[in-house]
């Protein structure tokens, strides 16, 4: 009985596939990939590639910036247009800062001809030529730091607040 089962199993097997160069290369390629990579979804592979691209872009764009936080006053040299030769100086109070790699930005509170204006400026934009720190802790005249990360409540004060 056992011999009959073994004979049937052997007969049911397909003949061995001829070893072509293509089949050998495919087996080697599959064998070299780890099991973790083999079971990753295409979305995870794509997001890992995009993260690497964003990291490289940030390293390429990185320029030295002064250390500033919400509550400091800064001055930025910004080109208004791509064709402009002389940068425009924008002074303002930092209301908040978003750190998102190459998409990092700062929100400034400025006075333009007596009107309070809120501006969001990308830090690593090619239009930003320079950033200088005017005064740390501008709100308290440099005595103590502000304990908030975002200072949007100052916008509501409007004309009562004097931006630099």
The predicted model scores a pTM of 0.65
pLDDT of residue 8: 57
**All CATH 2.30.30.790 domain ranges in the chain, comma separated:** 73-160
pLDDT grade, residue 37 (50/70/90)? Answer: low
For range 121-134, the mean pLDDT: 91
What angle (nearest 5°) sits at the alpha carbon of residue 98, between those of residues 52 and 157? 170
Q: What's the mean pLDDT in 146-157?
A: 84
What is the number of other CB atoms lying within 10 angstroms of the CB of residue 135? Answer: 15
pLDDT at res. 9: 61
DSSP string, 58-75: HHHH--------TT-EEE
pLDDT tier at 94, thresholds 50, 70, 90: very high
Fold of 73-160: SH3 type barrels. (2.30.30)
Q: How confident is the model at residue 3 (pLDDT cuts 50, 70, 90)?
A: low
What confidence category does residue 120 fall into, taking pLDDT thresholds of 50, 70 and 90? very high
Query: Given a cut of 80, is residue 26 above it in pLDDT?
Result: no
pLDDT > 90 fraction of the chain, expressed in percent and rounded: 23
The answer to whether the beta carbons of residues 124 and 62 sit under 8 Å apart is yes
Which band of pLDDT confidence, cut at 50, 70 and 90, is reported for residue 45?
confident
| 64 vs 133 pLDDT, higher one | 133
């Amino acid at each position: 009985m056992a011999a009959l089962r073994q004979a049937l199993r052997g007969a049911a097997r397909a003949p061995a596939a001829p070893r072509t160069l293509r089949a050998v290369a495919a087996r080697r390629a599959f064998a070299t990939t780890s099991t973790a990579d083999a079971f990753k979804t295409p979305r995870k592979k794509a997001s890992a590639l995009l993260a690497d691209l964003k990291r490289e872009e940030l390293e390429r764009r990185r320029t030295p910036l002064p250390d500033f936080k919400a509550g400091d006053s800064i001055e930025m040299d910004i080109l208004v247009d791509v064709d402009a030769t002389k940068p425009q100086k924008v002074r303002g109070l930092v209301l908040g800062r978003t750190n998102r790699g190459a998409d990092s930005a700062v929100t400034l509170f400025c006075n333009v001809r007596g009107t309070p204006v809120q501006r969001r400026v990308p830090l690593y934009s090619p239009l930003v030529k320079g950033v200088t720190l005017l005064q740390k802790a501008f709100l308290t005249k440099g005595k103590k730091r502000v304990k908030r990360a975002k200072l949007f409540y100052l916008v509501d004060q409007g004309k009562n607040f004097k931006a630099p």
